[in-house]
A and B are shown apart, each in its own frame.
Chain A
Amino acid sequence: MSTDRGLLDVLNLEVNYGGIAAVKGISFIVETGEMVCLIGANGAGKTSTLKALARMLPARGEMRYGGAKLHELPAHALIGKGLALVPEGRGVFARLTVAENLDMGAYHRSDEGITADLGRVFDLLPRLKERRTQLAGTLSGGEQQMLAIGRALMGRPKLLLLDEPSMGLAPLMVQKVFEVIRTVAAQGVTILLVEQNAKLALEVCGRGYVMESGRITLADTAKNLAADPRVRVAYLGE
């Protein structure tokens, strides 16, 4: 019965804040194993889109994930279905330790694999292992971003929604965070990345969508988008 093509299918998604339309009927898909980015300027509706997908904002339109209607699931049920959000501004639990933060990522789980997954996260992010007894609030911005990603991985996601992972980080740290994201993708996690840093996003992703005032204006492979003069002028600073 499923006519879905992707792991995530979005059709005519609309998000409104009061009377103001932040997302005005966008459609896109993310296929299993893909790494897709949503780029655009501040206020284009990228974060609203991601929050709607994570069921943190009321939205209209259709959102299908692995054949299930996202509208029928509450926000807290998503991680159990393999859909994890790394929120904007990282959202680590500042007064819990690094290890406790990672534990929270497995809050919904009760299986035997948690310890093994913790080991895997520490392998990927050795910095967190060194600091596992430290309070998350005392980590640097980059480390907090790593922790937020690690915490999401503890939920064994199939689809990872990343909201502005480069925000407020030093350029060197941004590189490191993106390396991690690339590694996670290489391990088979599908990724939808929302980024203002279009250059970097288009470097790591296979496909991209450009959002402008609540609409998707361009959709293409990352390579073509990076070469598109409109994108180069508007988002790559040329």
Chain B
Amino acid sequence: MKKLPNAPERKRALLGTALIAVALAVLPLVVAGTLGNTWVRILDYALLYIILALGLNIVVGFAGLLDLGYIAFYAVGAYLYALLASPHFGIHWPAWAILPLGAIVAGFFGVVLGAPTLRLRGDYLAIVTLGFGEIIRIFLNNLNAPVNITNGPKGIALIDPIRIGGHSLSAPLDLFGVTVPGVVLHYYLFVLLAVGIVFVGIRLQDSRIGRAWVAIREDEIAAKACGIDTRNVKLLAFAMGASFGGVAGGLFASFQQFVSPESFGLLESVMVLCMVVLGGMGNIPGVILGGLLLTLLPEAFRYGAGPVQQVLLGRVLLDPESLRMLLFGVALIAVMLYRPAGLWPEARHRRELAEAAAEKKA
């Protein structure tokens, strides 16, 4: 039940939005100036992961359907872009045509995955979705013979970058004497799309469909008894989630200008799921936080672990590459122990935990 915002509240909300907008606009310039373009690139990836995590959040967080093969939709979006905008087939469609198509095709694949799994829940659903993710990856790996469609493990290279107004986003742009690097241009595009997807996510959450997803998550039989067509509503969750993944995949392909099956392994699915769970299942700000942290922290460990050891121990004792996965694992365990509902849980989930604790005390 939302109250209508009164004038001062609305003013505060507007001011908050403006501040966030300015911060988002300035961020890449500051990062590029201080940490360098590498970190802007990492930010770009973080945004892609945020889009992915928001998509998975619809399936896992809203509808409560555990999906371990989500990265397959990312792969579908990425390969669709790669096939339709590269010398591989000599097709060069513009991005504005491929990205929406990617959303639709990935959404279709979402339904293809959803339809046979409608009656499954929990562990069983997780295993089937995991299998689905692997099937897509293995297909991509092997569809180079007898007819070469995906170019197999070698992947597809020389993918067209996104062009806006005739300018390629991968080339630096001269703007009033200032050179804006490609990574920063990509950042702005990704931020715009991420904000759009956040908006869609929020509207979905507050909608009739959103309420139906929550009902299914809580109790499927009761949801049916309330008149919810659980089959269609579940399929819609799979399709919506998948279409977000498809868009992210297209962006990924255009940004990297190269795709290969190894980018779409099980670990990636698990990573995106971690972002959702760690951030706070079902809560959009939490999921964004999860996506951001889980992209930035491993990178920070990668770049920081070596020098810190050098200073503390005088030499690099542990390989930063393996150390970062160790630290990452420890961080995950700590969060699940101390904040089981995630770093920034859904308000009602938080309340539930608090009420349960209060009841225990009483």
Contacts and interface: CB of A to CB of B under 8 A. Distances in A.
Given A76-B230, A135-B355, A96 B218 contact: yes
Contacts of B229: 74, 76
B224 A95 contact: no
B339 to A, nearest CB: 17
Contacts of A8: none
A38 interface: no
29 contacts: A54-B224, A54-B225, A56-B221, A75-B230, A76-B224, A76-B229, A78-B225, A79-B226, A84-B225, A87-B219, A87-B222, A87-B225, A91-B225, A92-B219, A93-B223, A95-B218, A95-B352, A96-B218, A104-B215, A105-B226, A107-B211, A107-B226, A135-B351, A135-B355, A137-B352, A138-B352, A138-B356, A151-B222, A155-B226
Shortest beta-carbon contacts, A-B, top 3: A108-B227, A91-B222, A93-B218
Interface in A134-179: 134-135, 137-138, 148, 151-152, 155
A99 interface: yes
A85 interface: yes
Contacts of A103: 211
A99 B211 CA distance: 13
A85 B224 CA distance: 9
Interface in B69-112: none
A200 interface: no
A84 B356 CA distance: 31
Contacts of A134: 355
Contact of B227 (A80, A91, A95, A135): A80
Contacts of B218: 92-96
Contacts of A92: 218-219, 222
B286 to A, nearest CB: 15
Interface in A81-130: 84-87, 91-97, 99-100, 103-105, 107-108
B1 A99 contact: yes
Nearest to A54: B225
Given A75-B225, A87-B225, A134-B355, 19 more contacts: A54-B224, A91-B221, A91-B222, A91-B225, A92-B222, A93-B214, A94-B352, A95-B348, A95-B352, A96-B214, A96-B215, A99-B1, A100-B211, A107-B226, A107-B227, A135-B351, A138-B352, A138-B359, A148-B222
Contacts of A86: 225
Given A135-B351, A138-B359, A93 B225 contact: no
A75 B223 CA distance: 10
Interface residues of B, number: 26
Contacts of B217: 95
Contacts of A68: none
Query: In terms of DSSP, what is the predominant structure of the interface of chain B?
Result: helix
B332 to A, nearest CB: 24
On chain A, which size bracket covers the interface? Answer: 35 or more
Interface in B208-261: 208, 211-212, 214-215, 217-219, 221-230
A97 B229 CA distance: 22
Given A135-B348, A138-B356, A95 B222 contact: no
A60 B7 CA distance: 61
B349 interface: yes
Contact of A95 (B208, B230, B349, B359): B349
A97 B355 CA distance: 12
A127 to B, nearest CB: 17
A93 B230 contact: no
Interface string A40-78: 000000000000001010000000000000000011111
Given A99-B1, A138-B356, A56 B215 contact: no
Interface in B342-362: 348-349, 351-352, 355-356, 359
A16 B58 CA distance: 35
Contacts of A77: 227
B222 A108 contact: no
